[in-house]
């Protein structure tokens, strides 16, 4: 967990709270919306397409909040309204509202997540005057724990919708309280770094960071498989979330371990793909969640920030990455509709092959990068992972 903060460091504490809430909303959306989509949709193609649209809407809302600065009062009103609408529509979807109500819930939930991450960016600017900072794995892990506790058994969609339906207004009210006087939706905030820049900078860690998308999209299917084999879905979700955040906490406590992260990430990606062929039934997917969840943790929290002197590492607007991710999830749903869980398996096998290849290529290119002369002043050193303030989780 993050180190204790001084009582006077209120902006850093607010940033921790914003980070935890943002991750709880993001992961809760994957669990709640994804499970109801799989239950209500006539097939996996429609269910995955709905989740892809949710991702695209989230990126559009984040871009809008970056480009148009909204006053604090508007943010305080929008936060509980969007979250409350998402919770009410989610409960309506489970009580006869069907896909129409779920679509409304998806749009409102996307806006609530975008507002939460805008609060994270605003908190970062308040805590460290906008300077780049490392991620906050402790706060993110706390958010994942809250999402896991609220979701419970995601196979029981009626109870799941009821729990999340009541939790969303509470989350919206908490988010409204976290907007402090003087806050405004941050303008011109950077989006995600491009995948090409990540590959050049991090190698196998960039491949590992791509493992979250198919894993989260396929969690409802994995939960159904676990229930069929009398394995509690909560166990599988807890294992997956632990794999995603416990290694990040270890990196925060021992920053020197980050030097070994690329090789470990490549090995985990390959081991997860191999385990799919060796283990039977739900056990194969549990092992995959453990291996590829850990690889994602290393890729997300151990990869350094892109070099500001490298022109190829310019950051892109949030809607670009969100639209790309939404298209990937939609195509994945088409594959699942055609080949079942085998389509998910082959995606993870591809990641298991790409990870070691990226590690080999990064090792081969390292002497060339070390010999390349630098232009301009040297880039500032990245802050240690255990700092109290962070960038967007």
CATH number of 12-188: 1.20.1250
Quote the CA–CA distance of 10 and 17 in Å, as a whole number. Answer: 11
Q: What is the pLDDT of residue 184?
A: 53
Per domain, the residue ranges of the chain are: 12-188, 190-369
Quote the CA–CA distance of 21 and 172 in Å, as a whole number. Answer: 9
| Angle (nearest 5°) at CA 173 between 325 and 68 | 55
Encode the chain (393 residues) as per-residue pLDDT tens digits.
444 444 447 778 888 999 999 999 999 999 999 999 999 999 999 999 999 999 999 999 999 988 877 888 899 999 999 999 999 999 999 998 999 999 999 999 999 999 999 999 888 776 655 444 445 788 999 999 999 999 988 988 999 999 999 999 999 999 999 887 555 555 444 444 444 444 445 678 888 888 989 999 999 998 888 888 888 889 989 999 999 999 999 988 888 888 889 999 999 999 999 998 888 888 899 999 999 999 999 988 886 544 333 333 345 788 888 999 999 999 999 999 999 889 999 999 999 999 999 998 888 876 655 555 544 455 454 444 343 333 344
Q: What is the pLDDT of residue 195?
A: 44
Quote the CA–CA distance of 86 and 93 in Å, as a whole number. Answer: 10
Computed from CA positions of residues 63, 64, 68, 74, in that sequence, does the dihedral angle turn out positive or negative?
negative
Q: What is the pLDDT of residue 365?
A: 74
pTM for the structure as a whole: 0.84
- Expressed in angstroms, the distance from the first to the final Cα of the chain is 15
């Amino acid at each position: 967990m993050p180190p204790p903060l001084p009582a006077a460091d209120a902006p850093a504490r607010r940033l921790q709270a914003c980070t935890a809430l943002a991750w709880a909303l993001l992961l809760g959306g994957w669990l709640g919306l994804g499970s109801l989509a799989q239950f209500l949709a006539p097939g996996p193609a429609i269910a995955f397409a709905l989740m892809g649209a949710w991702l695209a809407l989230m990126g559009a809302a984040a871009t809008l909040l970056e480009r148009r600065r909204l006053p604090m009062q508007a943010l305080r009103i929008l936060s509980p309204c969007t979250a409350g609408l998402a919770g009410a529509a989610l409960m309506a979807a489970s009580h006869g509202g069907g896909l129409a109500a779920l679509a409304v819930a998806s749009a409102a939930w996307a806006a609530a997540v975008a507002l939460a991450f805008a609060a994270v960016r605003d908190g970062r600017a308040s805590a460290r005057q906008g300077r780049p900072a490392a991620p906050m794995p402790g706060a993110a892990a706390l958010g994942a724990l809250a999402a896991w506790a609220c979701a419970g058994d995601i196979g029981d969609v009626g109870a799941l919708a009821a729990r999340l339906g009541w939790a969303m207004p509470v989350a919206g009210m908490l988010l409204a309280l976290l907007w402090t006087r003087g806050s405004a939706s941050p303008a011109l905030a950077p989006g995600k770094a491009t995948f090409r820049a990540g590959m050049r900078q991090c190698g196998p860690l960039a491949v590992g960071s791509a493992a979250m998308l198919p894993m989260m999209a396929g969690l409802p299917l994995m939960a159904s498989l676990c229930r069929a084999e009398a394995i509690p879905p909560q166990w599988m979700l807890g294992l997956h979330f632990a794999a995603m955040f416990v290694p990040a906490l270890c990196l925060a406590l021992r920053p020197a371990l980050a030097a070994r992260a690329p090789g470990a990430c490549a090995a985990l990606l390959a081991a997860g793909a191999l385990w799919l062929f060796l283990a039977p039934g739900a056990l194969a997917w549990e092992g995959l969640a453990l291996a590829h969840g850990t690889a994602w943790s290393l890729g997300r929290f151990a990869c350094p920030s892109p070099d500001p002197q490298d022109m190829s590492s310019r950051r892109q607007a949030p809607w670009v990455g969100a639209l790309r991710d939404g298209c990937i999830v939609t195509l994945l749903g088409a594959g699942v509709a055609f080949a079942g869980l085998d389509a998910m398996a082959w995606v993870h096998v591809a990641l298991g092959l790409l990870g070691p290849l990226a590690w080999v290529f990064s090792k081969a290119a390292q002497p060339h990068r070390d010999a390349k002369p630098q232009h301009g002043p040297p880039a500032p050193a990245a802050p240690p992972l255990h700092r109290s303030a962070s960038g967007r989780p």
